Structure 1
Amino acid sequence: MEEFDVVVIGSGIGGMTAARLLAQFGGKRVLVLEQHYLLGGLTHEFSRAGRYHFGTGLHYMATGAGPFLDFMTDGRVQVHTLPDDFDVLHFPGFEFRIPSSAEAFRARLTETFPDEHAAIERFLAGTGRAAAGLTARNVLASFPAAVRAVGHPIVERLYPAAYRTLADEITRTFRDPRLRAVLAARWGLYGTPPATAAFGYHASVPLGFYRNGGGHPVGGPKEINTIIQQILRGYGVELRARQTVHRIATERGRVSGVDVEDTTTGRRYAVRARTVVSAAGVRNTYALLGDAVRPRWRRRLDALEPEPSAVMLFLGLDRSPAEFGVHGENHWCMPDLELAGFREPGEGTLYVSFASLNNPAARHHTVEVLELCDPAFIDEWRGTAEDDRPAGYRALKDRLTRRLLDRLAERWPGLRDTITVAELATPLTYETYQRSVRGAFYGLAATPGRLRSPLAGSRTPVKGLFVAGQDAWNPGVTAALAGGMMAAQAALRPAEMRTMWQTIRGPVVGPDGPWQGYLRVARIETLTPEISRIRLAPLDGGALPFTFLAGQYLKIDLPVAVEPIERSYSISSGPGETGFADIAVKREPDGLGSAYLHDELVAGQALRVSGPHGAFTWDPARDARPAGTLLLIAGGIGITPLLSVLAAAADAGHTGRIVLLAGARVVLFRDDIAALRERLPGLEVELFTGRRIGRDALRPYAAAVTRVHLCGPAPMMQDVLGHLTALGVPRDAVHTEAFVSERSRRTRRERAHAIALAADAGRFTVDVRGEDTAFGVLPGQTVLDGANAAGLGFAQSCGEGSCGTCRVVVLSGPSESDTRGMFSAAEIDAGWRLACQTLPTGDLTISRMS
């Protein structure tokens, strides 16, 4: 039996939102359980052919999604704006383009349908009131039952249009069937056809939420998912995938926990909690209550109209859709002007999204084609196993795929020839992976009946049980986020709720630590056949979103496979350049990352970056020893951070002596160095082309040096460190750089795991010589981790092995460590190690460096 304060069922954005709010403002211990093997609900992505990435539910967002989404992501999500005419409506014989401005939309409607000008004005004025009615109803749904019972009838009387059907509202207002069709067209944004959809949803979503255009998250929908998961873990929320909840347990009318199965191991277990938030949908939530569902609740559930589902065709292309005149706008292809219900699958309204054109980080082009439908057409195959569907089901999918491709070919001749991957999802797909009722795509149907139901909202009749997600607010991913907020509002105490809303409405507070996000490749310059300089700039111009010190580096995710690889590159431009950051990359033999940057990277592409990192820095404003010599020693591409140091010195008007010793087979950055010599009267440069920087070369500068910066290949750094020590240069005056990549982290994790598995002892003892101090280290822990756990004040900075601050001497005992060019050969022989990189394999005796 496990115990948590709150259990959240489902890791869609609604569930994750509720989890964060209850942890942050309620101080709760929160457990999130997800039945899928991927967290994130419809914000996760899948890949095909090792290169195409597809969103599963988020295809574009309204520009009005900003405030709530900014809060949930701490302002870290970057949004690419769709073209000004962001939705294009195609009807038989004519088309209509939706502009990214409410006023422009009004003007275009009037220009196109001048005879209906007065009706257009009345209609658009009324949409705001209908949307307000829907909001009032949804907010009330988060209040206790007594308040809802009184408030909901009042809302319906005050806002009757919100409860009328879309078809009714459109036909009573307009005469022109083309205008009716234009204004009703985008019902696919919430999934219920005009004949049965409540007008409040239409007024709120396509005519309200999207009134000022749309955008797409840079990096794809999974970027939102990734960021939110990082934030949740920061609040102590525990996230578990492959966990099927079989029952919501109750005691005397109150929720008491959940019964769960870990589908990876088959283990069954129970979790006790006084609060359960279900982001699995209203019908699934009541199904999990089992015998606790009372007859009147069952009748109300049965009275709700069936949920809509969808078929979706995912396409990977070998060329850009821009070749066919598409610029990133969405296309809606309507078969006629009718305001009826669903059609035969393949013959209804198609929504076509060219997501890769709106994601500057996308390497390969994709198309997503969505058609809302009644899920009944696959009823005969419901209950069959995913990997053993009958031949008739596969034949149906093939026919639907061909029909959808035929319709695309009619619109964009030649597009079909670019398709290399085509995969169709049906309601069974969503039922399998999303566990939604009959493959529901948008949750409960957006009908007047839903608005009148006491079960459609964040409250339930069971104390301590709340609903989050789409069914607690509106259909759609961003609306599901709002549904999570409603669930949290219902579960929090009044004072906690007030603090929550004050924080959400206040300025966004970004995360501590290095900046993370996307930068655009503004320029690629070939310096030599093996070395390129790459300029990274903000996506939309302006200043860099971070400042850096000379000598720091950036970590960059390189999309070379299904999952990106992380590589680190020094910034070569000076910190005074606020509009860009330059890096230089050497092609390494068999280097996956460098090969990608040299062979495949193109200007305009966005790369995910974090930074700045590193303590290999020099700040002229803080240099307390300007009279001494600043000695910069570079080997090969290791000159890049030293160029930044020189630029910082030049910008600061530094007049002290600076010596640059640079060794390489080919002299790099010759023009840059020449320009810096013009600005730095105290700069001396010696280039060692094709030869090593030996002790004799260092000897003339050793006596006067007060600070050394050394960067290059590990063997070269090891030799130079030995020479400097022999020449009497104080070790603390020498600063070295070593990058930390995900590969090096993974290697350390793998070694730590192997040590933990092989260890006979439960812990190792580390004695600190001369301090009468000892502490325990668990197998697989580093010396620094053990010291920190014991509360010892070990010197430390980065904790990753790049700064050298946590130097210790291992006097005796076995261990594994990564020196990474931080020490000379003599120092390594003397036992010098980095505490953050040293994994004991037995008892150790160490001494701390003074």
Structure 2
Amino acid sequence: MIGSGMGGLAAARTIAQFGGKRVLVLEQHYTLGGMTHEFSRAGRYQFGTGLHYISANAGPFLEFMTDGRVQLSPLPDDYDVLHFPGFDFAVPATKERFRARLAERFPAEADAIDGFFRTTRRAMAGLAARNVFASFPAGVRKMGLPIVERLFPSTYRSLWDQVSRSFRDPRLQAVLAARWGLYGIPPASSAFGYHAAVPLTFFMEGTAHPVGGPKELSRIILEILERYGVVLRPRQQVNEIVVERGKVAGVDVEDTGTGRRYRVRTNTVVSAAGVRNTYALIGKSQELADLPGEPSAVMLFLGMDRSPTVFGIRGENHWFMPDLDDHNGFHHPPGEGTLYVSFASLNNPAARFHTVEVLELVDPRAVDQWRGTPAEERPDSYRRLKDDLTRRLIARLEDRWPGFGEAIAFAELATPLSFETYQHSVLGSFYGLAATPQRLRSPRAGCRTPVKGLFVAGQDAWGSGVVGALAGGLMAANAVLKPRQLGTMWRAIRSGGAPPDPATPWHGYLRVAAIETLTPTVRRIRLGPLDTGAMPFSFTAGQYLKVDLPVAVEPIERSYSICSGPGENGFVEIAVKHEPDGLGSTFLHEALEAGQALRVSGPHGEFTCDPPHDLTAGTLLLIAGGVGITPLMSVLVAAADAGHTGRIVLLASFRTEDEVAFRPEIEALRERLPGLEVSIFVTGRKGRIGVDALRAYTEDAYRVHLCGPASMMQDLIGHLTELRVPREAIHTEAFVSGRSKETRQEKSHAIALAAAAAGVTEFTIGIVGGDPAFPCHPGQSVLDAANDADVPLPQSCGEGACGTCRVRVTSGAYETDTRGMFSTDELAAGWRLACQTLPTEDLMIAP
């Protein structure tokens, strides 16, 4: 597979999943995902590169590729606002409302409007038929494509021809011919079939933006591809597709990161690099001479210091047309053509800072004088061009929204040379082959090529945009796979992909529904679904969530215990203590706002408890230190919801009175749990929880849950052992701070550097009892090394929170963090957490 855009990834998945093939994806860029990837600037602004909005219902192709995991945030109902000289028109969601608004605005042509939409359906059907036929072998294509043109003539007409046939009012013609920028060719030259497919069909059910940004699509898809064994390699430049006796024999590749050159032998190559690049790689560029050239683009990326809502913008897209017929299209001088302006940050509830993207399609020859020069060596004239264009584009926005320019904190302009460099497209082509009647009639525009075993995926195999590229990838798979495999593939696509694995934690975005201050240092945060539905997962009392926090360009992951009860299906709550030096807790206390979306995975953890109903079962003893009470509150709520009547003892320790968390909730739970006994220890007044305080509750304690600071847990484990509580009855959980994770990473890096300096490439970990030893790379933990070697060790969280991965180190040196999971005696006996133990020489362990 050449290229990792949506077309390449779609073909990779389907061929691997349904064809049983080993698939290698080679991507020339350093980032996988094609035009769904994002980049950051000024340490805060995130910009998309190609995906601005998609159909609100995602469609079966995208549902399949993401296994239904894509989350979409709808744009406003009037999602496209068109600005013409002298009048504006807002395009509403749904074809019925669009038709009604057109008839209301242009009542004299109401009948013609109905006829036009009937023609649109026919043109769309013709495009689909043409593209499907183009995926068939040469004989079928030669016979079928002329029939398609005869049956669906409107598909092959120019857009301007069709609207001129349909309407007399030039303003109505302009409204229905607008938004050709969604596929790149102006009305006089574009094939009506493409216009019918994109603005007049695909977006007619409403529009949406991916929650988390475009990169969320490729993140999900790449994760799924790994499950199917697809190998993905960035920074791999394919220099030639090797053809022997008319058949594909392989590809010659250069690893641009290392300079290594190599050949991949294969009899099947799918290129998602575009038809022009593909034919260049087989030395047949001349065969495309009859196809018209494509536009490129300039794109202005703006970072704002205030929300665009202050200018009356709600998240809709704005189109600025210089005239009614727009015949010059992308041949206007740069800065004077049709502008498309989108506001991704208003439509992405996970966005923290506001951004705007301004797109103008231009003739790629506008930058010919600088083409071929390295980016770092371009003359001042190129910089002056960019500066001048930036000023002119901002001035057009300022004309519409006075004061807009003053709200801009960052601006950067991309030109056709930028797209040529990063997208690796011919002359910075933005949408692939020009969407013209010539393309529809060309035997070279589609997923088939004259070379046996060579296929094309992506936009050139179907149509423009991310979803068009995805459909093109499926067409390539349609050409590669065997007939019996195709039936299975299309049935799976119609069903929407693989169902979620119930054993796998849920991953996705939740919205911050409410924030409440519990104490001067503790906040309770309620997370709920993006819509008004039920929570997408259930959990057991005592479990925790992992949350990605957007504190910088790359988010940081932190773990927080759930404090709400598992019986609530409309939300989940966490409680977070503000650590002065903690990046994550500082963000959650000082920057988080209600309405923002956070990426969450969960539930995680084995610190769970389901109290029995039997009064004779004994005492459930819950011991908390500070914010360690959080998971125990979930246990208490679960017990109350279940009607538990047995004895539960809560011993909770806090440093001061004003730090006592959940006091009202605990009092309410006393009413619901007749067997609940509570003792609050304020260390400055009543002292710590010691042996004497424990003695009254341990004689019949069948289960102890302990959570708090490491030093407290270490002491209490010793006290409980002294009081003859069985070790297996003591369950612990530690809070893992961001700093502790960073410290482990620093230790790991230092160990790896020291080993490299000493010429050591691996350590050996032996197992008491004669089981085979296994290798450990310097800087690896014992648990990671065991997992790599398929050596089974007990485990759960992998980050030192749960204490499940207990092992006893009998000899050897190491760095470790015990997290308070062991008593002093256990530490002396060598008990350690495998996930936190980093060998510095060979070790012996006893699981």
TM-score over 0.5 for the alignment? yes
In the alignment, structure 1 residue 695 sits paired with structure 2 residue 691: yes
State the partner residue of 2:49: 56
Q: State the distance in 1 between where 2:156 and 2:616 align.
A: 76
State the partner residue of 1:318: 305
In the alignment, structure 1 residue 465 sits paired with structure 2 residue 454: yes
State the partner residue of 2:734: 738
How far did 1:392 drift?
1.7
Q: Any stretches of 5+ residues in structure 1 without a counterpart?
A: 1-7
State the partner residue of 1:121: 114
Aligned residue type for 2:570: G
Aligned residue type for 1:587: H
- TM-score normalized with structure 2 length: 0.95
State the partner residue of 1:480: 469
Q: State the distance in 1 between where 2:13 and 2:735 align.
A: 33
How far did 1:740 drift?
5.7
State the partner residue of 1:197: 190
Pairing partner for 1:593 from 579, 584, 593: 584
Q: State the distance in 2 between where 1:411 and 1:788 align.
A: 59
In the alignment, structure 1 residue 544 sits paired with structure 2 residue 535: yes
Matches within 5 A, 1:76-87: 76-87=69-80
How far did 1:718 drift?
1.0
Match of 1:23, SS? helix
How far did 1:418 drift?
0.3
Match of 1:124, SS? helix
Q: State the distance in 2 between where 1:790 and 1:35 align.
A: 32
Aligned residue type for 1:811: T
CA contact (8 A) 2:628 2:735 kept: no
CA contact (8 A) 2:456 2:476 kept: yes
How far did 1:437 drift?
0.6
State the partner residue of 2:720: 724
Q: State the distance in 1 between where 2:240 and 2:755 align.
A: 37
CA contact (8 A) 1:162 1:199 kept: yes
Q: State the distance in 2 between where 1:254 and 1:268 align.
A: 22
State the partner residue of 1:636: 626
State the partner residue of 1:834: 833
In the alignment, structure 1 residue 271 sits paired with structure 2 residue 264: yes
Q: State the distance in 2 between where 1:380 and 1:264 align.
A: 29
Q: State the distance in 1 between where 2:784 and 2:806 align.
A: 14
State the partner residue of 1:684: 677
Q: State the distance in 2 between where 1:533 and 1:799 align.
A: 25
Pairing partner for 1:137 from 130, 135, 152: 130
State the partner residue of 1:388: 377
Q: State the distance in 1 between where 2:33 and 2:767 align.
A: 46
CA contact (8 A) 1:427 1:439 kept: yes
CA contact (8 A) 2:810 2:845 kept: yes
CA contact (8 A) 1:81 1:216 kept: yes
How far did 1:813 drift?
2.4
CA contact (8 A) 1:167 1:339 kept: no
How far did 1:447 drift?
0.2
How far did 1:805 drift?
2.8
- Is 442-451 or 262-271 further displaced after alignment? 262-271
| Alignment root-mean-square deviation, CA | 1.9
Pairing partner for 1:90 from 83, 93, 108: 83
Aligned residue type for 1:829: A
Pairing partner for 2:488 from 488, 499, 504: 499
Q: State the distance in 2 between where 1:741 and 1:73 align.
A: 32
In the alignment, structure 1 residue 304 sits paired with structure 2 residue 291: yes
State the partner residue of 2:33: 40
Match of 1:406, SS? helix
Matches within 5 A, 1:177-188: 177-188=170-181
CA contact (8 A) 1:752 1:779 kept: no
How far did 1:785 drift?
5.0
Aligned in 2, Cα 1:236/1:754: closer, same or farther, shift over 3 Å?
A: farther
Match of 1:620, SS? coil
In the alignment, structure 1 residue 367 sits paired with structure 2 residue 360: no
Aligned in 2, Cα 1:844/1:426: closer, same or farther, shift over 3 Å?
A: closer
- Is 505-514 or 356-365 further displaced after alignment? 505-514
State the partner residue of 2:221: 228
Pairing partner for 1:650 from 623, 629, 640: 640
Aligned residue type for 1:594: S
Aligned residue type for 1:474: G
Matches within 5 A, 1:337-352: 337-342=324-329, 343-352=332-341
Aligned in 2, Cα 1:746/1:790: closer, same or farther, shift over 3 Å?
A: closer
Aligned residue type for 1:737: E
After superposition, give the CA deviation of every residue in 1:335-359 in whole Å (9 maximum; x if it has no partner): 1111403222111111110111000
CA contact (8 A) 2:519 2:660 kept: no
Aligned residue type for 1:438: L
How far did 1:589 drift?
2.1
Aligned in 2, Cα 1:411/1:807: closer, same or farther, shift over 3 Å?
A: same
Aligned in 2, Cα 1:337/1:793: closer, same or farther, shift over 3 Å?
A: closer
Q: State the distance in 2 between where 1:822 and 1:723 align.
A: 13
How far did 1:625 drift?
8.9
State the partner residue of 1:777: 775
State the partner residue of 2:806: 807
CA contact (8 A) 1:198 1:446 kept: yes
Q: State the distance in 2 between where 1:413 and 1:433 align.
A: 34
Aligned in 2, Cα 1:558/1:763: closer, same or farther, shift over 3 Å?
A: closer
Q: State the distance in 2 between where 1:606 and 1:153 align.
A: 51
Aligned residue type for 2:519: T
After superposition, give the CA deviation of every residue in 1:216-239 in whole Å (9 maximum; x if it has no partner): 001110111111111112222121
Match of 1:774, SS? coil
Pairing partner for 1:409 from 398, 409, 417: 398
- TM-score normalized with structure 1 length: 0.95
Aligned in 2, Cα 1:748/1:802: closer, same or farther, shift over 3 Å?
A: farther
Aligned in 2, Cα 1:453/1:748: closer, same or farther, shift over 3 Å?
A: farther
CA contact (8 A) 2:732 2:821 kept: yes
In the alignment, structure 1 residue 171 sits paired with structure 2 residue 164: yes
Aligned in 2, Cα 1:750/1:336: closer, same or farther, shift over 3 Å?
A: same
Match of 1:147, SS? helix
State the partner residue of 2:317: 330
Q: State the distance in 2 between where 1:24 and 1:145 align.
A: 26
State the number of aligned residues: 833
State the partner residue of 2:424: 435
State the partner residue of 2:597: 606
How far did 1:693 drift?
1.3
How far did 1:762 drift?
6.4
CA contact (8 A) 1:574 1:647 kept: yes
After superposition, give the CA deviation of every residue in 1:497-526 in whole Å (9 maximum; x if it has no partner): 211111111144344311111111111111
Q: Any stretches of 5+ residues in structure 2 without a counterpart?
A: none
Aligned residue type for 1:372: L
CA contact (8 A) 2:75 2:209 kept: yes
Aligned in 2, Cα 1:47/1:796: closer, same or farther, shift over 3 Å?
A: closer
CA contact (8 A) 1:625 1:706 kept: no
Pairing partner for 1:616 from 607, 610, 614: 607
Match of 1:495, SS? helix
CA contact (8 A) 1:775 1:787 kept: no
State the partner residue of 1:3: none
Match of 2:58, SS? helix
CA contact (8 A) 1:755 1:841 kept: no
After superposition, give the CA deviation of every residue in 1:542-583 in whole Å (9 maximum; x if it has no partner): 211000010111111110111001111111001011111111
Aligned in 2, Cα 1:37/1:794: closer, same or farther, shift over 3 Å?
A: closer
Aligned residue type for 2:566: P
State the partner residue of 1:212: 205
In the alignment, structure 1 residue 627 sits paired with structure 2 residue 617: yes
How far did 1:488 drift?
1.3
How far did 1:756 drift?
6.2
Q: State the distance in 2 between where 1:840 and 1:426 align.
A: 51
Match of 1:773, SS? coil
After superposition, give the CA deviation of every residue in 1:699-750 in whole Å (9 maximum; x if it has no partner): 1111111101011111111111111111111110011113567836745763
Give the share of equivalent positions with the same residue, in percent. 68
Match of 1:584, SS? strand
- Is 786-795 or 628-637 further displaced after alignment? 786-795
Q: State the distance in 1 between where 2:439 and 2:734 align.
A: 60
How far did 1:760 drift?
5.8
